[in-house]
Homo-oligomer: A and B are copies of this chain.
Amino acid sequence: MRALRDDGLVETTGLRGADGVGAVTQRDGAGGADFAGLFAAAVAVQANAHCPYSHYPVGAAVRTAAGNVYTGCNVENAAYPNGTCAEAGAIAAMVAAGEREIVEVVTVTDGDRPGTPCGGCRQRIREFAGPDARVHATTVDGAVSTTTMRDLLPDSFGPENLPDA
């Protein structure tokens, strides 16, 4: 599913959602080092996931415009809807540290196919990211599906929809 091309780009194929859509070629040229660092951060925090209900650990790392990295893992709850997704945790850490602009996201999951951010997390990322922000859904074993917020959450709902906002 993954091949290193002559030009240094990593190309991932066959990584499609349940609905069979989505282009998934990773742009990893100049950003290679950046991706590697984010991926390593996401893998590290995935190990701390609290997921006794789903047994599905997720790690997430976000890089901000300032170049800093913040991480989170899923924190499940016995009452499921009260859980916190990995991306939400990473974003909370970012905001707590005083930053609010996401330029790149890596999520890491187990299994053969990367688990892309759920819709709720796409909405959470969108609050702090523009349409060009890159999102890499990966697996621990190295499968990578790269896209942008423009593709992940088209026609998004945002602050401009609200009155007086």
Asked if A115 and B157 make an inter-chain contact with CB atoms under 8 angstroms apart, the answer reads yes
- Chain B: CB-nearest residue to A93: B93
For residue A54, which residues in chain B have a CB less than 8 angstroms away from its CB? 53, 80, 162-163
Asked if A78 and B119 make an inter-chain contact with CB atoms under 8 angstroms apart, the answer reads no
Report the interface size for chain A: residues with CB under 8 A from the other chain: 79
- Is A6 located at the chain interface by the 8 A CB criterion? no
For residue A45, which residues in chain B have a CB less than 8 angstroms away from its CB? 96
- Chain B: CB-nearest residue to A24: B155
| Other-chain residue from B18, B49, B89, B124 in contact with A82 (beta carbon distance below 8 A) | B124
Asked if A75 and B92 make an inter-chain contact with CB atoms under 8 angstroms apart, the answer reads yes
Give A77-92 interface residues, CB cut-off 8 Å to B: 77-85, 88-89, 91-92
For residue A126, which residues in chain B have a CB less than 8 angstroms away from its CB? 19, 119
Whether A92 contacts B116 in the complex (CB less than 8 A), given A48-B97, A131-B21, A156-B19, comes out as no
Whether A157 contacts B118 in the complex (CB less than 8 A), given A50-B95, A53-B80, A123-B77, comes out as yes
- Is A20 located at the chain interface by the 8 A CB criterion? yes
Asked if A155 and B21 make an inter-chain contact with CB atoms under 8 angstroms apart, the answer reads yes
Give A residues with C-beta under 8 Å from B: 15-22, 24, 45, 48-50, 52-56, 71-73, 75-85, 88-89, 91-93, 95-98, 100, 109-111, 113, 115-124, 126-127, 130-131, 137, 145, 147, 149-163, 165
> 9 A-B Cβ contacts within 8 A?
A21-B150, A48-B95, A54-B162, A72-B96, A76-B80, A79-B85, A82-B120, A84-B91, A152-B154
